[in-house]
Structure 1
Amino acid sequence: MSHDGVGLRAVMRSVAFLTAGALAVPALTACSSEDAAGKPVAGQDIAPASRDLVADGGTLRWAVDAVPETLNTFQADADSATSRVVGAVLPSMYRLDRNGCPQINPDYLESAKVVETEPRQVVLYKLNQQAVWSDGREIGAADFAAQWRALSGKDSAYWTARNAGYDRIEKIERGKNNLEVRVTFSRPYADWKSLFSPLYPKDVMGTPDTFNDGARRKLKVTAGPFALTKVNRKGGEVSLTRNPRWWGRPTKLAEIDLVAVPRDKRATALAAGKLDLAEIAPSEAERITLAGQDKGSTPLQGPGATITPAKALPKAIAKNAGQQSALSGFVVRKSLEPVYTQLALNGSEGPLADERVRRAVARALDRQELAQVVLKPLGLPAVPVGSHLALSGQQAYADNSGALGGQDTAEAQALLTDAGWVPGGPVTEQKKHDAAGSRGKAAGSPGSKADSGDGSGDDGQYIVGEDNKPGEADREKKDPKDHSGQHQQKHSRQHEDEQAGKHLDGKQYSRQGGAPGAYAPKGTAAPAGAAAGALAKDGKPLTLRFVLPSGPSSEPLRAVADRIAQMLQRIGIRTEMNKVSDDSYFKDHIASGQYDLALYSWPASAFPATDARPIFAKPVPAADGSLSVEQNYTRVGTDQVDQLFDQAISTLDEDEERALVRKADARIWAAAGSIPLYQRPQLTAARANLANTGAFGFQTPIYEDMGFLKKGAKVSASPSAP
């Protein structure tokens, strides 16, 4: 799981699944162009080139967030850098093509199919006879069996992050010869294709010691187009070099260096010649586009975009002409990640424990408008996501948002009225203060106002729909002397019944950490359709705590949050915006339930029946009296959804599995615990002469085809069609 700009993908991998936008795994079945799931919203953009146009040799310097803490992708602290290493050096039985469809990886696998269903499901793998580990040993049944034993969950000495699917295996045997592996399941398992990708050697999986510790810092035995030759933690670099025992197509590159560079420093590293390839933020993408408009870079300005090149280029960039000139050697390759950003609604307590209030929040949202905020300025398709469990182009995808309904202000207001929230009412300043912060301060919660996380104190919070921060009235009563700006606050408090139609002035909003200009100056007329007054119930206002990361790379997320706050204000819901540090955002707020509203992202799994179940499972009481939520951080779930997932994972009828997954998604929409908004943009800066790499979209990177073009060779830099 991740939120835009904050690296939390290891959290997703720790329990649910391995994709997380980094290590691709196969989809459910072979894709059909006639399937209702359609095609990916955006195609990949990797500057495809035939191998004869790519030069032999060279080193690709590829940015990662950090040197991986572990090289064992089945451990809880594995991250996207772990997956990038593993994708280059270890076997994977399947890989995705650019349409998100699974293709058998012929370098390792000749075929794999279900050969028996009664009395047990049996899958027969036939391996490539040339496939060997770097020590010369054949890849075979012993490796499959060792991985099953390590990940089955039967031996607690293995510190595994997941065992889904492996816990259903009964036995693994050698087939007719060394190239055949028979896997027998104790219970039917629809998502059997998710297993053994990646496949580790028995040297890693064979004992708890080698699994827990041996593979964290090094991999002695590998079997990919590249070999792992160096992990330099102090220097922040991982080196991969050609595998001399590789039996497939030779790698074009001689070496790939994964270089740890923070995202906010990547433009500088690119300009300094320290990187050739890096995922970047929209602001850096704009700089590169402007620097190299004549170098083949695709424009970021979509039709009707509000950002213009003149506005997008900060004065600081204009002053640094040398760095800007160096960036002209790069192009921006863009697509959509197989990841969607959602609005999460914490249903465990407070107003959102009432399904009617959650549904009202959802019905207040214009998801098309929110998608446009992020994607339209980048020239990417601004298409709202219609499923929690898959993305357009994947087999399980279907737009089930109709189960909840689209934007409807009148319906949202009716739901709130039905829930007992009505305009006006006796609301004191102290009560408003308590409503805004009490849940975050309970029992010393890390989500309290005192722990905004970015060292800003009060400046980390502000309430949309209020003219002052909580508690200012109390401070003024203690000190009746007039201070700068207090006359405006006094004036605003005389009109509390109209606060939902007013806005923070630009200066105050900027001081509190918000984006200048996000709200009109004080005195501006309320927008059409704004609520006549904020809602209250039992003397307390309807105020929801909106927790957001404060880092610079999360700026697009905060822009979306501001727009959501305006939409909620129109139906009488105030939002308390609470900015916290990126490091504490997930662990101290999302995972611990210290929020009402939050924005974070989930990767779309190729195996939703297995991988998405923990995300939407109904929370249950644990033995110690706490609530076990697995990965359901909204705390909203139903027995029916759980049953549909269980049925889907236990059928071997692929059509039935898809139908059950889609039905489960419709029920998840109806519960209104999370609202999918848009597919996350994928922007990659690439040296202009790099081929077969960039913004991969759904596709599994093919490491052996990456490289630098031969002198004089040219390829199109425009995105390929889906």
Structure 2
Amino acid sequence: MARLRRMRVWAALGAAVTLMLAGCTSSPQRTHSPRTMGVPASGTEDMGREPPASLRQGGTLTLATSQWVTQYNVNQAAGSIGEAAEIDSLVEPKLFRRDAKGVPHANPDYLLSAAVTGTAPQTVTYRLNPHARWSDGKPLGFDDFAAQWKALGRGDDRYLVADPSGYDQVSEVRRGARANEVQVVFRSPYADWQRLFDPLFPASATSTPEQFNNGWRARIPVTAGPFTIASMDRTTQSVTAVPDPAWWGTRPRLDKVVFRALLPAAALQAYLNGEIDAVNAATAEAYQQLRSAPDSTVRIGSAWDEVHVSLNGAGGPLADIAVRHAVQRAVNRKALADVAAEGLPVGVPLLGNHIYMTNQPGYADNSGPWGTFDPAEAARLLDRAGWTSPGAGRPRVKDGRPLKLRFVIAESTNRLGLDLAQLLQQMLGQVGIGVEIQKVPADDYGPKYLDVGNFDLAIFRFTDLTYPSQAQAVYRMPRGKQSFQNYGRISDAALDDLLQRASATLDPVAAARLYNQADAEIWRLGHDVELYQRPQMTAVRKGLANFGVPGLGDIDFGTVGWTS
């Protein structure tokens, strides 16, 4: 599946699993881990922490991405993927860095301070580091904040945005009392204000719809980070970043960071061959090979990471809520979570919530009947919706049309994702819902399928929702051609209102109550089939410091390096 850090965005599944369920074959035998444990506590990190000054100066870090990135503006609809955000984090301003518990802290490389300086209306004052400059020589400042708000928060549909939430609650961006001050004024309180303008993008390359939508296609035109892009090689599908000599902060320890686009099986083999320095270990097949690999260690923690099946309610059979409910009731979610957990040393819990992970404060299981496996009830729902069964093993029919759904998956999906898709195909087939699995190129999965609603079913991940208000982009009502990240276009006014009220509630206990009401509505609407909380396991080369599983926090590539 796919994934993205820092914002709620989609990511593809990657790696493999040993599978033994009725009617589905994969590996001939089950594997067992030497130990099992529950889910690590929320915000548990495993990074190989070392003081950056103690690390060797120099060296290369080579990492794999599951696809070639074609859009580096992560605020643009096609840019909301993990690989784009990860590369951007080396070269664009991160105003805040989250610690392992998800608490944001102002990044002194860019901010002298940032605080709420007024409450009626809520006003946030940013004091920018006067040394912070874009690669075109311009200082970071008011123009950049104003351009980002204009693109994301003013409702101008010429800007194809991934997530306007928060920005659409801003009433004004104005200059502060000093040259390096910017003030952001909200029309109503907004609890998660630290997530806005982070990353900050340059006004010089985002001010017009053309710049915003197309100026970052397969390129990064302006930077302001500890690294700069040395090359983007489409032929070898690799991106190389090197320290920026104009960087005003502490010099990075690494001489080079290389990203190579590799499908999951190829990435695993490349790691075992010593060609890359980290790889996903969170599937049975990968873990069995990696746990005893030489010169390697598996780091384990806990992050915000979920796996689900999106349902497209914009057309076709799934436009009918009864059919969506039938799909929910026909899926044995526990069996799928058990498949994902097989052979791993950590728990893989079933999720009953779209906004909070099972080990987070605020979590409640709101799945109700919609998350309960009941194929007999699924059949009754389909009967009442007019879909009649012509006999076992055949799709139901209505008005002469068979009940068939197209399950679109990216070719970068690993064996686990393929196994889950095949099991879902079997489960739905048992109640008369035909499913065709269509594998598409990884580079096309977002722009040609997910973003434009060209699917009935799709399995992928949302990651790093440490700010609950980020759920708005995924579950809000679409606007015209803008689906934001609500790829299946399923929502209603009640859900919109609950999410809006929750994001404007400053008391975290009261906000969690509203978010849980919103989550119950997400389940009732049949937005998706929520599956499980994905484990966090990464294999890294021994000697690699300050890299691995950051809990609910961020990886600071400026501090990553080698101990020897």
User: TM-score category by the smaller chain?
Assistant: 0.7 to 0.9
Corresponding position of 1:615: 474
Query: How far apart are the structure 1 equivalents of 2:216 and 2:371?
Result: 48
Query: How far apart are the structure 2 equivalents of 1:699 and 1:560?
Result: 29
Query: How far apart are the structure 2 equivalents of 1:658 and 1:105?
Result: 28
The answer as to whether partners of 2:284 and 2:343 remain within 8 angstroms in 1 is no
Q: CA deviation at 1:700?
A: 0.8
Counterparts in 2 of 1:438 and 1:250: CA distance versus 1, 3 Å: farther
The answer as to whether partners of 1:351 and 1:357 remain within 8 angstroms in 2 is yes
Query: How far apart are the structure 2 equivalents of 1:130 and 1:195?
Result: 21
Corresponding position of 1:560: 420
Alignment deviations for residues 388-434 of structure 1 (CA, whole Å, 9 cap, x no partner): 12324556x4223354376464xx63575477469xx98369x9467
Query: How far apart are the structure 2 equivalents of 1:65 and 1:202?
Result: 30
Q: CA deviation at 1:346?
A: 5.0
Query: How far apart are the structure 1 equivalents of 2:473 and 2:557?
Result: 32
Q: CA deviation at 1:228?
A: 2.5
Corresponding position of 1:177: 178
1:677 pairs, out of 524, 531, 539, with 531
Q: Which amino acid aligns with 1:560?
A: L
Query: How far apart are the structure 2 equivalents of 1:659 and 1:162?
Result: 23
Corresponding position of 2:113: 111
Corresponding position of 2:266: 265
Q: Which amino acid aligns with 1:131?
A: A
Is 1:238 the counterpart of 2:203? The answer is: no
Query: How far apart are the structure 1 equivalents of 2:339 and 2:536?
Result: 15
Counterparts in 2 of 1:438 and 1:585: CA distance versus 1, 3 Å: farther
Q: CA deviation at 1:58?
A: 0.9
Where structure 1 has 5 or more consecutive residues not aligned to the other structure, the ranges are 23-37, 293-327, 441-542, 711-722
Corresponding position of 1:386: 352
Query: How far apart are the structure 2 equivalents of 1:166 and 1:660?
Result: 20
The answer as to whether partners of 1:436 and 1:544 remain within 8 angstroms in 2 is no
Q: Which amino acid aligns with 1:671?
A: L
Corresponding position of 2:511: 657
Counterparts in 2 of 1:552 and 1:644: CA distance versus 1, 3 Å: closer
Corresponding position of 1:404: 369
Alignment deviations for residues 367-390 of structure 1 (CA, whole Å, 9 cap, x no partner): 444322102422221211221123
Q: Which amino acid aligns with 2:306?
A: Y
Query: How far apart are the structure 1 equivalents of 2:332 and 2:215?
Result: 50
1:638 pairs, out of 480, 485, 492, with 492
Query: How far apart are the structure 1 equivalents of 2:169 and 2:421?
Result: 42
Q: Normalized per residue, which structure has more helix? A: 1
The TM-score, its normalising length taken from structure 1, stands at: 0.63
Q: CA deviation at 1:103?
A: 2.6
The answer as to whether partners of 1:143 and 1:199 remain within 8 angstroms in 2 is yes
Q: Find the residue that maps to 2:83 and give its secondary structure.
A: helix
Q: Which amino acid aligns with 1:689?
A: G
Q: CA deviation at 1:684?
A: 3.2
Alignment deviations for residues 445-488 of structure 1 (CA, whole Å, 9 cap, x no partner): xxxxxxxxxxxxxxxxxxxxxxxxxxxxxxxxxxxxxxxxxxxx
Percent same amino acid among aligned pairs? 30
Is 1:427 the counterpart of 2:427? The answer is: no
Counterparts in 2 of 1:434 and 1:371: CA distance versus 1, 3 Å: closer
Q: Find the residue that maps to 2:173 and give its secondary structure.
A: strand
Q: Find the residue that maps to 1:699 and give its secondary structure.
A: coil
Q: CA deviation at 1:160?
A: 4.8
Alignment deviations for residues 616-670 of structure 1 (CA, whole Å, 9 cap, x no partner): 34578x6xxxx98665455543332122123234445554433222211122223
Query: How far apart are the structure 1 equivalents of 2:471 and 2:400?
Result: 32
Counterparts in 2 of 1:363 and 1:227: CA distance versus 1, 3 Å: same
More displaced stretch, 413-422 vs 648-657: 413-422
Corresponding position of 1:145: 146
Is 1:693 the counterpart of 2:547? The answer is: yes
More displaced stretch, 277-286 vs 267-276: 277-286
Equivalent positions of 1:69-88 (< 5 A) are: 69-78=70-79, 79-88=81-90
Query: How far apart are the structure 2 equivalents of 1:281 and 1:394?
Result: 20
Larger Rg: 1
User: Taking CA–CA contacts closer than 8 Å with sequence separation of 6 or more, which of the two structures ends up with the larger relative contact order?
Assistant: 2
RMSD between aligned residues: 4.1
Q: Find the residue that maps to 1:703 and give its secondary structure.
A: coil
Q: Which amino acid aligns with 2:96?
A: Y
Q: Which amino acid aligns with 2:495?
A: V
Q: Find the residue that maps to 1:684 and give its secondary structure.
A: strand
Q: CA deviation at 1:707?
A: 0.9
Q: Find the residue that maps to 2:204 and give its secondary structure.
A: helix
Q: CA deviation at 1:689?
A: 1.9
Counterparts in 2 of 1:420 and 1:169: CA distance versus 1, 3 Å: closer
Is 1:573 the counterpart of 2:431? The answer is: yes
Query: How far apart are the structure 2 equivalents of 1:39 and 1:645?
Result: 28
Is 1:374 the counterpart of 2:336? The answer is: no
